[in-house]
Amino acid sequence: MVAGEKPAARRGCIYILNGPNLNLLGQREPAVYGSTTLAQIRERCEAKAKSLGFTVDFRQTNFEGELVESVQQARQEACGIIINPAGYSFTSVALLDALKMFERPKIELHISNVHARESIYHNSLVSRTATGIIVGMGAAGYELAIQAMAGLVDA
């Protein structure tokens, strides 16, 4: 730990939530999403968070209700949420409503640049409640989001 940094227990836990089909990263459309697996992203997130004095609760689900329940649980346990809602970004009012109830920082994350893709990917419901959005930075976007979250939590 760097002098002056708070220990992880005092800085808090960042929930990193991943939506449908992200369990197939590394296999799914590598030209769009890259070859990095979700397990590799998780390892990088844990290391980055630890270096900043945070812990992470890293989750992936293909089920909308599970994602909503994770957001609800985060209300009691997390200092912030980083969420890659995948396809639910554009369809889930239930997820939007759950995120509205989370009153701490929220970062929406997309591996690809959704604005350079088909028009169906241009209107995220989740963006309406996000504190910030990271798009198109590939798997590295997760580490950027953790760095940004550290600044938001400390602000």
| CATH number of the domain encompassing residue 35 | 3.40.50.9100
Is 46 contained in some domain? yes
pTM (predicted TM-score): 0.90
- Reported as a pLDDT band with limits 50, 70 and 90, residue 7 is very low
With respect to residue 52, please indicate whether it lies within any of the assigned structural domains.
yes
15, 88, 110, 142: the active-site residue: 110
**10 confidence band (pLDDT: 50, 70, 90):** low
- 110 annotated active-site: yes
pLDDT band at 8; cut points 50, 70, 90: very low
Pair of tokens at residue 49: 């968070």
Does residue 53 sit within a domain?
yes
Is 113 flagged in the annotation as binding? no
Does the annotation flag 112 for ligand binding? yes
In a domain, 56, yes or no: yes
Question: Which tens digits make up the pLDDT trace of 124-149?
Answer: 999 999 999 999 999 999 999 999 99
As for how many domains the chain has, the answer is 1
From the candidates 33, 115, 122, 142, which is the catalytic residue? Answer: 33
119 is in an annotated binding site: no
111 carries a ligand binding annotation? yes
* 1, part of any domain: no
Q: Which residues of 104-120 are buried (b: 16+ CB within 10 A; e: fewer)?
A: bbbbbbbbbebeeeeee
| 59 within domain boundaries | yes
Q: 61 is in which domain, residue-wise?
A: 13-154
In a domain, 73, yes or no: yes
Q: What residues pair up with 84 in beta bridges, in sequence order?
A: 18
